[in-house]
Amino acid sequence: MLDQLTEEKWPQTIKMIIIFSTAILFVISMFFPASYFYENVKKEVAWGQRLIGDTDFTPVISDVNKNYRSFFVNTGVDGFLRDFYELDSSDMANQGGPLFLFASIFRNMAENLNYWFYMIVYRLTLNIYWLPYMLVVTLPSLFAGIMRWNAKRYTFAYSSPFLNRRSMVLIGWGIYSILLSLFVPLPVPPMIGALIMIVMIPIGSSLLISNLPKRI
């Protein structure tokens, strides 16, 4: 019983550590120069372009800009943040002194937030791009899992509870990783999301179904 409780608790502990570390990293990153965030955005966009090619990437980046406009520009969030770091030369915060130093911190944070919001929209849009490919692979995997499970029901083939539980963990970690990767304030290679959605989740789904108990 103790082993089972330990087995169930340690993944939750790891997840909480990852979430806490990401939150700490995000807070620290708000004090990084805005140029650092800007370079991260350019780097991640370039990775996506190299991965899927210019032809497919053009509509993707168009959707990214459209989604960003809908979520942040039209709602006034983008303009609100820009008001912090795009100040007139006559503004008191540009006159030097302690106020300038204090305001510079918040201006930098506002600009970083703008870039971070764009990265979130970009990653989310790119994950949506992978969805059709995921379905093409997942549906046959589900069908194969069902056929394999039916075969086990009428033979002496072993249906593994271990693989059943581990495949659920695999799928859970895959979904968790995709959601968490949306908010990481560092450049995330788009290949990671593609591998999770097109390889990891379909394999986990097939193993999950094929190792269900013979009697449900």
Q: Is the pLDDT of residue 215 over 80?
A: no
- Residues spanned by the domain of 199: 14-210
For 30, list phi and psi in degrees, rounded to 5.
-65, -20
Give one DSSP letter per residue of 150-171, joined into a string.
Answer: HHHHTSS----HHHHHHHHHHH
Structural domain contains residue 2: no
State what percent of residues in the chain have pLDDT above 70. Answer: 85
For residue 200, what pLDDT is reported? 95
Structure tokens at 23: 């939150």
> Which tens digits make up the pLDDT trace of 154-196?
888 888 889 999 999 999 999 999 998 998 888 999 999 999 9
For residue 46, what pLDDT is reported? 96
State what percent of residues in the chain have pLDDT above 90. Answer: 52
> Which tens digits make up the pLDDT trace of 73-129?
999 888 887 776 665 655 555 555 555 566 677 777 888 889 999 999 999 999 999
For residue 214, what pLDDT is reported? 77
For residue 11, what pLDDT is reported? 65
Structural domain contains residue 34: yes
Structural domain contains residue 173: yes
pLDDT-based confidence at residue 64 (cuts at 50, 70, 90): very high
For residue 69, what pLDDT is reported? 96
For residue 16, what pLDDT is reported? 79
Structural domain contains residue 107: yes
For residue 2, what pLDDT is reported? 40
Q: Each residue of 193-204: b (16+ CB within 10 Å) or e?
A: bbebbbebbbbb
Closest CA to 112 of 40, 18, 189: 40
Structural domain contains residue 9: no
Tell me how far CA of residue 163 lies from CA of 132, 195, 197, 207, in angstroms: 27, 20, 19, 7
Length of the chain: 216
**What's the pTM value of the predicted model, to 2 decimals?**
0.83
Number of domains within the chain: 1
Structural domain contains residue 78: yes
What does pLDDT average to over the chain? 85
For residue 88, what pLDDT is reported? 60
Structural domain contains residue 52: yes
Q: Is the pLDDT of residue 5 over 50?
A: no
Structural domain contains residue 216: no
